[in-house]
């Protein structure tokens, strides 16, 4: 007979923070209808200003336009590196873990993830397939570390909780503006109008307000798509084995909608209507292509803010 599963303290803490309370979480249908009506009304107005343009709005788009607008409009010089890619590989490995029969090691999961991603016909797959032995080892090491931390911090996920990784949602269907969300990990499903879903983002580094805003955007898209909001949002910091959890409320969703609409309004001003971008020094100065010539950004970086926002 199998011995009962023993959870370590970190797993017990995670389980306690994510567990449903005895009181069910319910949102009035009229509130969801009102939220969607406000979004539809705003999108109709925005569409009149877009001419033939289309907007694809993600958490990254919103975070960027609400930060430094000059950086947001800078040419995109993004290149994959092992440090940047380890999160993508770890997410794929965790996805395999949740559906794998038996108990594979983190290294086995990462190796399988690398093999599958390297076979994909897209830029990331081609980059993985062309890695040098040293860069591949570097990438494997970082991804194995993340998968190991996840396994140590999360209790084994019961299939009845309907866990899903890289869960995608988008809204609406017929406007030239599209909200897109892709969530690291989702647990639970609605029961009637009862909210049971938990949305989880996996992070390394230090706490950032941006992470909370990202999750609120996910909650907004989930609500607009499914009609039932999630019950909780959790940013799980793997390095510290600690989730920061927020209950979803009407106030959280209204704030997320306001921030999203404000961001879209500014996107249209900058990308369609030719408004002048505003410089806003902040965390993004660390990877801004203009940091060598931006006096404000240099002054910010000299201030000693060592926040990491992966």
Residues 121, 257 within the same domain: no
> Within a domain: residue 99?
yes
> Within a domain: residue 139?
yes
> Within a domain: residue 303?
no
Average pLDDT over residues 235-248: 91
Pairing mode, strands 232-237 and 242-247: antiparallel
Please give the Cα distance from 124 to 85 (Å, whole number): 9
DSSP state letter for 191: B
Q: Is the pLDDT of residue 305 over 60?
A: no
> Within a domain: residue 307?
no
- Residue 275's pLDDT band (cuts 50, 70, 90): very high
Residue 21: what pLDDT?
A: 83
CA angle 68, 256, 239 (to 5 degrees): 70
Average pLDDT over residues 121-137: 94
- The residue segments making up the domain with residue 149 are 82-153
Please give the Cα distance from 295 to 274 (Å, whole number): 24
Residues 173, 253 within the same domain: yes
> Within a domain: residue 17?
no
Average pLDDT over residues 117-141: 94
Residue 108: what pLDDT?
A: 97
Residues 246, 212 within the same domain: yes
Average pLDDT over residues 57-80: 92
> Within a domain: residue 285?
no
Q: Is the pLDDT of residue 2 over 70?
A: no
Residues 183, 133 within the same domain: no
Average pLDDT over residues 255-276: 97
> Within a domain: residue 48?
yes
In DSSP terms, 198 is beta-bridged to 187, 232
Residues 119, 189 within the same domain: no
* Average pLDDT along the chain: 91
Q: Is the pLDDT of residue 42 over 60?
A: yes
Residues 72, 196 within the same domain: yes
Write down which residue in 95, 130, 153 finishes a domain: 153
| More confident call, 158 vs 207 | 207
Average pLDDT over residues 157-180: 89
Average pLDDT over residues 26-45: 97
Helices (H), the chain: 9-18, 29-50, 59-66, 69-73, 82-99, 106-118, 123-129, 133-153, 209-226, 250-271, 295-302
| More confident call, 283 vs 180 | 180
Residues 166, 225 within the same domain: yes
> Within a domain: residue 105?
yes
Average pLDDT over residues 33-62: 95
Residues 220, 265 within the same domain: yes
Residue 3: what pLDDT?
A: 53
Residues 124, 191 within the same domain: no
Instruction: Provide the number of structural domains found in the chain.
Output: 2
Write down which residue in 104, 130, 153 finishes a domain: 153
Residues 190, 254 within the same domain: yes
Please give the Cα distance from 222 to 83 (Å, whole number): 30
Residues 192, 263 within the same domain: yes
Residues 133, 88 within the same domain: yes
Residue 166: what pLDDT?
A: 87
- Judged by average pLDDT, the poorest of 43-47, 197-201, 212-216, 284-288 is 284-288
Coil, strand or helix at 181: strand
Please give the Cα distance from 187 to 163 (Å, whole number): 5
Look up the pTM and report it.
Answer: 0.91
- Residue 4's pLDDT band (cuts 50, 70, 90): low
Task: Express each pLDDT in 189-239 by its tens digit.
Answer: 999 999 999 999 999 888 889 999 999 999 999 999 999 999 999 999 988
CATH code, 199: 3.90.320
């Amino acid at each position: 007979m199998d011995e009962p599963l023993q959870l370590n303290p970190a797993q017990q803490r995670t389980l306690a923070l994510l567990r449903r309370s005895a009181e069910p979480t319910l949102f009035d249908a009229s509130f969801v209808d009102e939220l969607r009506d406000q979004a539809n009304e705003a999108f109709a107005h925005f569409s009149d200003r877009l001419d033939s343009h289309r907007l694809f709005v993600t958490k990254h788009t919103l975070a960027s336009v609400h930060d430094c607008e000059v950086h947001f409009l800078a040419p995109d010089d993004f290149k994959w590196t092992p440090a940047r890619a380890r999160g993508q590989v770890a997410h794929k490995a965790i996805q395999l873990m949740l559906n794998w029969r038996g108990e594979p090691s983190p290294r086995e999961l990462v190796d399988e993830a690398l093999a599958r991603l390297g076979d994909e016909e897209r830029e990331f797959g081609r980059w993985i397939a062309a890695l040098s032995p040293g860069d591949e080892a570097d990438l494997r090491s970082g991804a194995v570390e993340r998968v190991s931390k996840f396994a140590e911090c999360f209790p084994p996920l019961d299939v009845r909780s309907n866990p899903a990784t890289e869960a995608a949602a988008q809204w609406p269907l017929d406007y030239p503006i599209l909200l897109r969300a892709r969530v690291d990990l989702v647990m639970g499903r609605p029961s009637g109008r009862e909210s049971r879903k938990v949305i989880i983002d996996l992070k390394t580094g230090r706490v950032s307000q941006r992470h909370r805003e990202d999750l609120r955007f996910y909650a907004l898209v989930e609500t607009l798509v499914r009609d039932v909001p999630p019950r909780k949002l959790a940013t799980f910091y793997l390095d510290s084995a600690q989730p920061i959890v927020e209950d979803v409320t009407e106030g959280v969703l209204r704030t997320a909608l306001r921030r999203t609409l404000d961001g879209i309004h500014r996107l249209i001003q900058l990308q369609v209507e030719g408004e002048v971008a505003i410089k806003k020094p902040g965390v993004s100065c660390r990877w801004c292509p203009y940091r060598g010539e931006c006096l404000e950004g240099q002054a910010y970086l000299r201030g000693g803010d060592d926040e990491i926002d992966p």
